[in-house]
Amino acid sequence: MSVWGAAVGGLVGTFVLTTILRAASELRLTRIDLPFLLGTAVTADRGRAKAIGYLLHFVAGLLFAMAYAMGFAVLDRSGWLLGVAFGLIHGLFAGSALVNILLPIVHPRMGTPSSSFASSALLEPPGFMMLNYGRSTPMVSLAAHLVYGAIVGAFAAAAA
C-alpha cells in the first residue's frame, strides 16, 4: 500500500467521479452539481463558484483518499475490491450525512428546516441521499463513489 498511490488515485478517482456525475446530469438523471454546491459556499458569483467548487472538490477527493490510505494501512491490505467497499461506505456517508446534514449547516446559502428567508439567498437543500435533486441521484452518486473507491484502491495497491 502506498500513500502516494492513494493520493494519485484520489485525484484520478475524483476526476472520474465528477465526470460520471456530469454525464448523469447531461442524461437528465439528476440535478446534482457538487462543484456548484461547494463553490457557492464561498461565493455568490456563479462562474467563480463553479471554478472554486471544482478545486474544492478535488481537495476533498484528495482528503478522502488519505482517509482510504489510513484504512488500507490499518487493514494492511489494499486493492480495487477493498476500495469499492470503502467507496460504498463513502457514498452512503456522503448522501446520508455529509451533503444532507453537514453541508447545509456550514453552507451560508443553503436552507435547513430551521432557516428563514429573511436575509440571504437560499440554495435548495439536497435532502436524504440527495433525493431532492432527482430520484436517480442516490444510484448515480453511489455508483460514482464505488468507481472512485475502486480507482483509489487500485492505485494504492499498484504503488505498493
Site residues (vs other proteins, CB under 8 A): 25-26, 28-31, 33, 36-37, 40, 44, 46, 49, 109, 111, 113, 115, 117-126, 132-134
How many whole angstroms separate alpha carbon 123 and alpha carbon 69? 34
- Which one, of 95, 104, 110, 111, lies nearest residue 144 by Cα? 95
- Residue 155 CB, shortest distance to other proteins, in Å, is 30
Tell me how far apart the alpha carbons of residues 102 and 98 are, in angstroms, rounded to a whole number.
5
CB of 152 to other proteins, least distance (A): 27
Q: How far is the CB of 137 from other proteins (least distance, A)?
A: 10
Nearer to other proteins, 22 or 77 (CB): 22
Contact 108, 41 (CB under 8 A): yes
What is the nearest approach in angstroms of other proteins to the Cβ of residue 107?
A: 11
User: Which residues does 139 contact at the CB level (< 8 Å), separation at least 6?
Assistant: none
Nearer to other proteins, 82 or 110 (CB): 110
Where on the phi/psi map is residue 127: left (φ > 0), alpha (ψ -120 to 50), or beta? left
Cell of 159: 504503488
At closest approach, how far in Å is the CB of 58 from other proteins? 19
Nearest residue (CB) to other proteins, 4 versus 112: 112
Q: What span, in angstroms and rounded, lies between the C-alpha atoms of 51 and 44?
A: 12
Which residue lies nearer to other proteins by CB, 19 or 115?
115
Nearer to other proteins, 144 or 152 (CB): 144
